[in-house]
A = this chain, B = another copy of it.
Amino acid sequence: MPLVEIFGLGVIDNITSQYGYKVISNNLVYFLGGAGYTVFITALSLVMGMILGLFAGLGKLSNKKILCFLSTAYIDFFRGTPLFVQIFLLYFGILPLFYDNDPVTSAIIALGLNSGAYIGEIIRSGIQAVDHGQIEAARSLGMNQRQAMTHVILPQAFKIVIPPMINEFIALLKDSSLLSAITVPELMHRGDLVFANTYQATWVFGAIAVIYFIITKIISVIGDKVERRLATD
């Protein structure tokens, strides 16, 4: 499908397709390097998001009012505003207060904070999806809240959480294209740069779409495998 589109667009662009093709072939390695950044940044953000999400998810379920409020506010804010705005405000506004921030670490922090909010909700609903009888059984054996959580609930929530987590990974990967705005050298940014020099919009963005599609497809195939493997025990 994307190939057809590229073809269709190539015609409309009214440009000899040879030039567009040359632009892509000349820049393919450069693009793949950008894809490397994309995956790398997304993966690190996801790790950060998981840690934050665990706290936020547990916090939202906590019966400590203040924790619950803070977690809810965090989750609501980052889910309620466009990621682009978050990236911009963090990069130019908040992070410079703390350190001499560079695009890549800022990107990881911004995406990490954003995905933390989504993962927080995933973890919360994963925990709530564990049968209530499980916590009752654990408590009836004399475990306290924390022991029941760590030994009984979280290991089971883990499995429930895998599929939405893979979806979040894919969403985050695609969202990382917004980091172009703060000059992170990821796939979309490199696409933007090549485009600006060549004006080959269709070829460049078509190729970028194909690369994103391949990466997300790989992740979802791996995700399905992981899910299936976990389902068997």
Inter-chain contact B209/A85, CB cutoff 8 Å: yes
| Majority secondary structure, A binding face | helix
Known: A88-B205, A89-B202. A213 touches B8 (CB 8 A): no
Min CB distance, A76 to chain B, in Å?
A: 7
Query: Hey, what's the 0/1 contact readout for A207-233 against B, CB within 8 Å counting as 1?
Result: 011001100110010000000000000
Known: A1-B73, A205-B89. A217 touches B12 (CB 8 A): no
Inter-chain contact A212/B5, CB cutoff 8 Å: no
Inter-chain contact A89/B209, CB cutoff 8 Å: yes
Chain A positions 16-70 with a Cβ under 8 Å from a chain B Cβ = none
Residues of B within 8 A of A97 (CB): 8, 12
Of the four ranges (under 10, 10 to 19, 20 to 34, 35 or more), the interface on chain A belongs to 35 or more
Inter-chain contact A209/B174, CB cutoff 8 Å: no
Query: Could you say how many copies of this chain the assembly holds?
Result: 2
Chain A positions 84-130 with a Cβ under 8 Å from a chain B Cβ = 84-86, 88-89, 92-94, 96-97
Inter-chain CA distance A92–B180, complex, in Å, is 21
Query: Hey, what's the 0/1 contact readout for A70-88 against B, CB within 8 Å counting as 1?
Result: 0001001101111111101
The contact of A84 among B12, B77, B85, B177, by CB within 8 Å, is B177
Inter-chain CA distance A176–B9, complex, in Å, is 23
Inter-chain contact A82/B8, CB cutoff 8 Å: no
Counting CB contacts under 8 A, is A155 at the interface? no
Counting CB contacts under 8 A, is A188 at the interface? yes
Inter-chain CA distance A76–B216, complex, in Å, is 9
Inter-chain contact A201/B88, CB cutoff 8 Å: yes
Counting CB contacts under 8 A, is A160 at the interface? no
Residues of B within 8 A of A94 (CB): 5, 8-9
A-B contact pairs, 16 of them (CB 8 A): A1-B77, A5-B94, A12-B93, A77-B213, A79-B170, A80-B213, A80-B217, A81-B209, A82-B174, A82-B177, A85-B177, A85-B205, A88-B205, A89-B205, A92-B201, A93-B201
Footprint of B on A, CB under 8 Å? 1-2, 5, 8-9, 12, 73, 76-77, 79-86, 88-89, 92-94, 96-97, 170, 174-175, 177, 188, 201-202, 205-206, 208-209, 212-213, 216-217, 220
